[in-house]
Structures are given as structure tokens and as C-alpha cells.
Chain A
Amino acid sequence: MESVERRERVRVRALWVRFGSVEAVRGIDVSAYAGRATALLGRNGAGKSTTMRVLAGVVPPTDGDVQVDGVDVRVDPLTVKRSVGYCPDVGGLVPRATPWEHLQLAARLRRMEGWETRAQDLLERFELGDAAHRVTGGFSHGMGRRLSVVLAAFHRPGVLLLDEPFDGVDPLGVEATQQVIDDAKARGAAVLISTHLRDLAMTSCEDALVLRGGSAVAALDSAELVGEAGARAYRALLD
């Protein structure tokens, strides 16, 4: 019997995404397992964010097989959206709604009961408690990123998708994000992190997938990308 830790929660095979004549993703395979975090690495335009959007059910795949917990994203996107928590790479917040209103909306649509204590706890952990009832349009970039992570993790999703979660976030916010990733792994969630910050990604992830020009060029153990040697190996994969 397959162990709980190696249960494949995300299964992507031969994924293609085209926007008109532009091929954003060109036949990549991705697997993410319960209790493990996978880093998606690569240069700008490598296809990381598009892959995340497909898994979040926001962008439909042009071709290929994309399954989250055995559910095909094309066949049943609503079930996939229930399983997934998504922190988008840009913004991700309704500018004239408060963090509390974001959480209220998410709780309603995700059928969460008694969510207020967890919401309050997450906001405090990310030092957003004082800003809970202010519209997000006035937030700094880092505050916005932190709230996006809160919203992604709020409903304890089976698959946590974090696109650039560390971008512009202060050290305390980074710690809180890493804590959220550890919690998710501990309860058996699969975590996918797209980032340019290789060192930070390696502290939280067990696996790494390097993308280039919409294709996967290497699937590695995160240990292979740590330190100076890891930096050189990563650099070599980007060219």
C-alpha cells in the first residue's frame, strides 16, 4: 500500500497552455505529494505562474491531464477549487474590501463554520490583526502578500499553491509563511511554491522542479540546490 507521505495529490501530465500564438506552458509534468512541498523554479516567463493558475482552476489547460486529488480540473473545476488554496502572484486582493470581508467571503463560499477564531489567529500570526478592518487598497506590497498567504491557507486546503509568497515580505512575514507551509505539510497537504528566492524555497521544500521556456528541465531533490553548489547547479539549468 502507498504510504500517506507519498500520496500524489497533484498530478500534471503533458500540460500545454496557449494564449493565442503564445505557448506559456509546453508539455510539463508535475507531481506534488501529501506532506511534501515542491518548489517551482525558473526565470520570468518560464511558465510557473501559469501552471499555478491552471492548478487553481483559474486558467483552463489547453491540453494535457491535470488532476488534483484525483479530480480532473477540466471536468470538475469547482471540486478542485474546494481542495486548493491559492495565493496569486500579483495582487490577489479586492482593493476596496477589508481582510475580514475577504475571509468572510472565502468562509461562506467554502462552507466553513466557526471560522472566526482561526481567521483572527492567522491575521495575528501575520501581523495583520490591526489592519483587519481596513480596505486592502491602502496596504503595502508586503502586507498584501501576507494577506494572500492567509487567504490561501485559511481553509486548511489539501493542496496549497503559493505563487511568490516571499516577494517583498519582511523576515517576520517570511517566518509566518514558512510556519504555514510546515503546518500544511504536517496535516498531509501538498504544497507548491513558485518563487525566485531559491534559498528560501529550499528551506521549506523537499522537491524542486526547474522550468525553462514553458518546459520542465530538471526535477531535483531540494538538497541538490542548497548552498553555493546548488546556486551553480541552478544557474546552469537556467541557460
Chain B
Amino acid sequence: MPTEHSWTELVRGVADLRALLAFRASGLTDRVRVRLRIAGGVVLALTVAAIVVPAYLKGPLQARHASQFVAVLPSLYLGFFALAVLAAIASGGGREVVPREQAVAFPVSSVTEHFGALLLAPLNIAWLIQAWSVLGLTMYVVGPHDVAAAAAPLLLWIAFSTAAGQAVGWVFEGIRRGAHGILLARLIAGSTIALVVVLIATDRFVPLLDRSPTVRIYLAAAYGTGNQWWLWARPVAVMVVMVVVATVIGLVPARWALHRALREELRLESGRIEPRPNPRSDLRALVRVDRASIWRAVPLRRGLLVLAFMPGLVAVAGSLHWDMITILPGLVASGGALLFGVNTWCLDGRGALWRDSLPVSASVAYYAKVIVLFEVLLAAAGLTILLAALRAGPPSTAELTSALAAALVVATQVVAAAMRWSVERPYATDMRSARATPAPPVVMAGYSARLALRTTVVGLVFSATAVAPDGRWAVLVAVPLLCWSGWRLVRTEALWAVPEVRARVIAVVAS
């Protein structure tokens, strides 16, 4: 008897998810378990801090800027929802608890896939930072009176956005997998972007945001601190229902999407690729194969396109000034590295063994990967700056130098970190599916946090140089940072040149 969409299937799906998580956990060493517990504790502590600390800062800071924050809070809530939708779409519906090629022998249902993707959605530094922003800014505005009641609607909104975003992500993935799905998906994405551009160009974007219904979330939080329990309870109850409905309703598009063929992947694998002229150097030959491995992988291609355009469009929508534009290259470079760079040899997949048997120096093979990663990150960061510049107006010399130096420095910094991680902690991953990641989700969360922290700090430093009288300050800051990253790259190359290290990396990624 078919049990799909039944209570039995739901219970079984949750039980299967527990089994998959246990399977994942079984491969962890004691040291990794300890580190994971610490990381989980830090995230929990930061979340509690994001709720409590700003609330108690309101008094000492005499509610400075509170009225300005109130004005942006509805847009911030909406922004979180947009982020959840975009993250789910970009990851092909959502991340996998166990990679497809490892789970292929097991009957993993779409229920398990859906709940697994929901569980993994917060393992993303962009999600965490946005969630902490939502909590922190609102709590600062509403103050310390009954913190738990004020935080409840915010936490429910975060849960609802994630669940609804996931459902939209599955719908988009289902459309993409259909006949003419890629064309349709591009039309939807293009139309949405065009709509936002038109709204911005006609100065209707901000008024529209001001009318956002998400203002009710702020009101619910405020009622919680104002002892207006009935006014607080009603929206909270509605939001509880919304969370449950969004979670359960997501099962329908999840099942629909996951039962459709991977059309884009199959098209790439069955299509003819015109041969190109013979490469004129060893390095070019290796770089060419690596470039092909990026642009012919669905998750990498899609991720890079999102990274190249979305931050730039957000900058245009937010009308960012040049001193803030310097932060964008860091976000883009971090995102780009997270697509494949943190486990660069995964581009070779099982071909790594054959590739390493070819007569070419380890150094040339290493720098081929460095070049490919660096050019991808720099191109995406450059495009972001270009888009942001459309609305930021003509820059001063210091602003332009700072933005370009920031792009160059963070790209080098991220490449150095990513190459180090690639050599020290390789993973066997098949980057075929749009849902694939180059490392396990928990590891990815750790990488994204570290990259975001480092590149944001660098971006802020260049924000400061952007307001300097001329561009020399940016250059003065950039040179030592570039030297540091260059030295790190050379050190990793020395590590890669050790045959035992190389053999371990190759054996892992090719397994």
C-alpha cells in the first residue's frame, strides 16, 4: 500500500534522518567531535548573546539610533526571507546530509531529504549572521523587559523563513529539472532581477519595503516587552502555525523535484564538446582542464553566477557607498572558495590518480589550481564592484584604489587559506549534483565562518583607507597583506611537494 504523504512516511522519514546523521557522525574522530561540540556551543552562546546583550545595551547607550533601526527592521526581516529562498535555490533545493553517491544504495525518501536540508540550512555563515542581525537589532530597539517574549516572534520568523525558503527552493529545483526547465528558471531569475532594477530605478523600491507586512513581527516583539499579552499571543500563534505549515507543505515540492531527472547534469554529460587547439604549455594544459571542471559542474557554475551578480545587485538596491563596497569582495571571494576551493582537488575527482601519474612537476600542478581559483574569485569580486559602482557614483582615487586593493587582497587571502585546507583536509566528493558541497556541511560551516571573519576584517580596513586623502594608504595596507598571503601559498606548495602528503590527498579525493 503506498504510504507517500502519510503520517507513517513522515515518521519513517524522521527516523531515517536520525540514521543518516548517525552514519555521518560515525566517521568522526574524538578530536573532531570535541571541536564540533565547542563550535555548536559557540554558535548557541552567540545566539543567546545576540538576544540578551543588545537588549541590555539600550539603557547605557540611551537608545541611540533606535528610531533609525525601527525603520529598517521590516526590510531586515524581509531580507532574511530573501536570503533563505536564495540559499535554497542556489543549493539545488538544499544540502544533502549524506552525498548522493554514498546514499545511492539506501532508500532515502524525499521526506528525509527535505528535513535533512532544513536541518542543514543554518550551517551557513550568511544565515547565522543575518539571523543574529535580526535578533540583535530588534532586541536593542525593544529593550530588556521580558527578553524571552520579545525573542519568540523573531525566532519563529527565522524558522518560518527557512522552511518557506526551502519550499520555494524545491519548487525552483523542480522547475529547473523539467522540460525547458533551465530556460524557464533563467526567465524567472531574470524577470525577478529586472523587476527589482525597475523598482530601484523608479524610486519605488524603498517605499515598497516600507509597506512590508513584516512590520508585524517587530510589533509582536514590542508587545512582548510591553505586557500586551493578547496582542503578542495572536501573531505568535499565527506564526507557529505558519512554521508548521511551511515545513509540512515543503514536502510536496520536495517529492516533486527529487523525483525528476537531473536534466541539466545529464545534458552536460551527454552533449558534444568541441575540441580546442592543443595547449602551448604544461601550465595552460592543466589550467584548461581545471577551468572545464568548474564550468561544466552544475553547482559550481550556478554558484559562481549567483556570487557574481547577487552581492552587486544587493549593493545597487542598498545604494552602498564606496567605503562599504570594500566589504563586498571579501564576501564574494569567501563564497567562491566555498563552492570548490576549500577542497580544490575535488575538481579532479577520481581522475586525480591518473593526473598525478603524468610527468609534470608538483609545483606546476599546484599553481594551476591556484591560478584557476584566483581568477574565478577575482572575476566575481570585480563584477560585484562594477555593479555596485553603477549606483555609488564616481569614486575618488582613494575609494577606487581601496576597492580594487580589497578585491586583490581578499582573493589572495582566500586562495591561500583554501589551498591550505585543500592539502590538509581533502574529502572525496562528486561535484556532479547541484546539491553537492566540497566538504561535509559541518566542515563547510566552519570554513565559511573563518573566511567571513578574516575577509570582513580586511574589508573594514579598506573601508578606512577609502576615506583617506589619497590611494597610497590602500596600497600601503595591501602590500604586506599580499606578501603574507603569498608566503602562505608558498608554504602550502612546499607541503604539497612532499610525496607522502600528495599521495594522501590524491588517495582521498580519488576514493
Question: Which of A's residues lie within 8 Å of B, judged by CB?
Answer: 19, 53, 56-60, 74, 77-79, 81-82, 84, 86, 88, 90-98, 100-102, 104-110, 133-138, 148, 151
Contact with A along B44-80 (1 / 0, CB 8 A): 0000000000000000000000000000000000000
Question: Judging by beta carbons under 8 Å apart, are A133 and B358 in contact?
Answer: no
A22 to chain B, nearest CB (A): 12
Measured between beta carbons, the chain A residues less than 8 angstroms from B273 are 98, 101, 133-135
Q: A95-B432, A101-B289, A138-B270 are in contact. Are A81 and B359 (CB under 8 A)?
A: yes
A130 to B278 alpha-carbon distance, docked (Å): 20
- A60-B499, A94-B348, A108-B285 known; 19 other A-B pairs, CB under 8 Å? A58-B503, A78-B360, A82-B359, A90-B353, A91-B350, A91-B353, A95-B293, A96-B292, A96-B297, A97-B289, A100-B275, A101-B292, A105-B288, A105-B289, A108-B279, A109-B285, A110-B358, A135-B268, A148-B354
Q: How far is the CB of B54 from chain A (nearest CB, A)?
A: 47
Residues of A within 8 A of B432 (CB): 95, 137
Nearest opposing residue in chain A for B504, CB measure: A19
Q: Check B356 for interface membership: any CB of A closer than 8 A.
A: yes
How far in angstroms is the closest Cβ of chain A from B29?
13
Cβ–Cβ contact A105 & B358, under 8 A: yes
Find the B residue at minimum CB distance from A111. B359
Query: Which residue of the partner chain B has the closest CB to A79?
Result: B359
- The reply to whether B355 and A134 contact each other, CB–CB distance below 8 Å, is no
Most buried by B among A84, A108, A110, A148: A108
Contacting pair B285 A105 (CB below 8 A): yes
Partner of A138, one of B269, B274, B347, B356: B269
Q: Is the CB of B510 within 8 A of A88?
A: yes
Cβ contact within 8 Å between B361 and A95: no
Interchain CB contact under 8 A, B511 and A90: yes
Indicate whether B286 reaches chain A with its CB closer than 8 angstroms: yes
Q: Which of B186-210 contact A (CB under 8 A)?
A: none
Cα distance, A24 to B350, chains bound together (Å): 21
Contact A104 B279, beta carbon cutoff 8 Å:
yes
- Interface residues as binary, B481-511 with A (CB distance below 8 Å gives 1, 0 otherwise): 0000000000000000001100110110011
A81 touches B353 (CB 8 A): no
Q: How many residues of B contact A (CB 8 A)?
A: 45
Closest to B275 in A: A100
Binary interface profile of B, 309-341, with partner A (CB < 8 Å = 1, else 0)? 000000000000000000000000000000000
Q: In the complex, A56→B359 CA distance in Å? A: 10
A133–B354 touching, CB < 8 Å: no
Q: In the complex, what residue of chain A is closest to B498 when comparing beta carbons?
A: A60
Instruction: Kindly list chain B residues whose C-beta atoms are within 8 Å of the C-beta of A78.
Output: 359-361
CB <8 Å contact, A95 and B349: yes
Nearest CB on A from B139, distance (A): 47
Q: Is the CB of A138 within 8 A of B293?
A: no
User: Which residue of chain A has its CB nearest to the CB of B269?
Assistant: A138
The 4 closest A-B pairs by CB, nearest first: A91-B350, A138-B269, A94-B351, A60-B499
* Residues A57 and B282 in contact, CB atoms below 8 Å apart: no
Contact A96 B353 (CB under 8 A): no
**A133 pairs with B357, CB closer than 8 A:** no
- Whether the Cβ atoms of B351 and A93 lie closer than 8 Å is yes
A135 to B286, CA, bound (A): 16
6 CB contacts below 8 A, A to B, read A59-B503, A60-B500, A91-B350, A95-B350, A106-B358, A109-B359
Residue among B272, B349, B351, B361 with max Cβ neighbours from chain A (10 Å)? B351
Q: Whole-angstrom distance between the alpha carbons of A141 and B442 in the complex?
A: 32
Considering only residues 416-434 of chain B, those with a C-beta below 8 Å from chain A are: 430-432
- Which residues of the other chain, B, contact A84 by a CB distance below 8 angstroms? 357
B296 within 8 A of A: yes
B279's closest neighbor in chain A, by CB? Answer: A108
Question: CA separation between A107 and B279, bound complex, in Å?
Answer: 10
Which residue in chain A gives the minimum CB-CB distance to B358? Answer: A109
Out of B278, B297, B354, B504, which one reaches A93, CB within 8 Å?
B354
User: CA A221 – CA B198 in complex, angstroms?
Assistant: 80
Given A93-B350, A104-B278, answer yes or no on A134-B285 (Cβ-Cβ < 8 Å).
no
Nearest CB of chain B from residue A89's CB, rounded to whole Å: 8
Q: A60-B500, A60-B503, A95-B432 are in contact. Are A110 and B353 (CB under 8 A)?
A: no
Task: Please determine whether A95 and B351 come into contact, CB atoms closer than 8 angstroms.
Answer: yes
User: Which B residue's beta carbon lies closest to that of A56?
Assistant: B357
How far is the CB of A78 from the nearest CB of chain B, in Å?
5
Q: Is the CB of B293 within 8 A of A96?
A: yes
Q: How far is the CA of A142 from the CA of B217 in the complex (A)?
A: 59
B27 close to chain A: CB less than 8 A: no
Q: Would you give the shortest CB distance from B415 to chain A, in whole angstroms?
A: 21
* Cβ of B266 under 8 Å from chain A: yes
Please state if B286 and A105 are interface contacts (CB–CB under 8 Å): yes
Question: Which residues of chain B come closer than 8 Å to A104, judged between CB atoms?
Answer: 275, 278-279, 285
Chain A proximity of B357: nearest CB distance (Å): 4
Please give me the residue from chain A that is nearest to B294 by CB atom: A96
**B337-377, CB under 8 A of A: which get 1 and which 0?**
00000000001111101111111110000000000000000
Give bound CA distance, A102 to B278, whole Å.
12
Name the contact of B275 in the complex, choosing from A60, A108, A133, A151 (C-beta under 8 A). A133
Q: How far apart are the CA atoms of A94 and B431 in the complex, in Å?
A: 11
Rounded to whole angstroms, the CA-CA distance of A81 and B364 in the bound complex is 15
**Residues in A whose Cβ lies below 8 Å from that of B360:** 78, 109
C-alpha spacing A135/B297, complex, angstroms? 11
Q: Is B271 an interface residue (CB 8 A)?
A: yes
